[in-house]
Amino acid sequence: MKAIIFDFDGTLVDSLLLGLEGVNQLADRFSYPAFEDTEYIRARGVKQLIKEDLGLRWYQFPIYLRALKKQLIPHMSKLELNEGIDEMLRALYQKAQLYVLTSNIRPAVDFVIEQYKLDLFEGVYAGTSLFKKHRKLQRLLRKHQLEAKEAVYVGDEVRDIVACRRIGMPIVSVSWGFNSAEVLAEAGPNHLAHSPAELLQILEAYYLA
């Protein structure tokens, strides 16, 4: 195993409540009810939220996403690493190439990297689409001359599991992010970690040994 590719929101940084705040600020503008229950959101998939809860048509989503990012930009300084992530990344740094692949904007990722002095990543790929994530992963692999079996993805959503399965890449899901442990387990990742310390143990035991 040569590379570990990390999701950003939820996986590395605690951004669920910040994202929820941005979504609720747009509720009146896009005519959907505000969310109060984070556990309800964690039990839903992104497509379910967009189509059923937000009620957005396909042509509305790019406009909505731009508006949401505009809402969140002034609050980037509120982003914080999940507890234990700093130590985990530093422990992995000498053992594999580290990458970030995220739909969040590059300034948000750069802020966190600078804030925590995490100059550890071989590459950061930000601003990617919420959908067709498998294609974004394939492009990253091609650019760095990696095979899918030479990398492992670490993410917090069911759609990450689906994307990795499509291209034959192993995935370790984390239970502290967007989707709940129960929802992730049902989707069938290769492994499920409940803390950064456990994630490190899994990576070292199964992928870096």
**Cβ within 8 Å of residue 145, ≥6 positions away:** none
- Expressed in angstroms, the distance from the first to the final Cα of the chain is 9
Q: Is the dihedral of CA 128, 79, 62, 60 positive or negative?
A: positive
Beta partners for 3? 97, 151
- Burial class of 117 by CB neighbour count within 10 A (0 to 12, 13 to 18, 19+): exposed
Of 7, 14, 156, 160, the catalytic one is 7
Q: Would you call 7 a catalytic residue per the annotation?
A: yes
Query: Which phi-psi region, left, alpha or beta, contains residue 4 (left: φ > 0; alpha: ψ -120 to 50)?
Result: beta
Q: Which residue has the tokens 């790929």?
A: 125
Residues labelled catalytic: 7
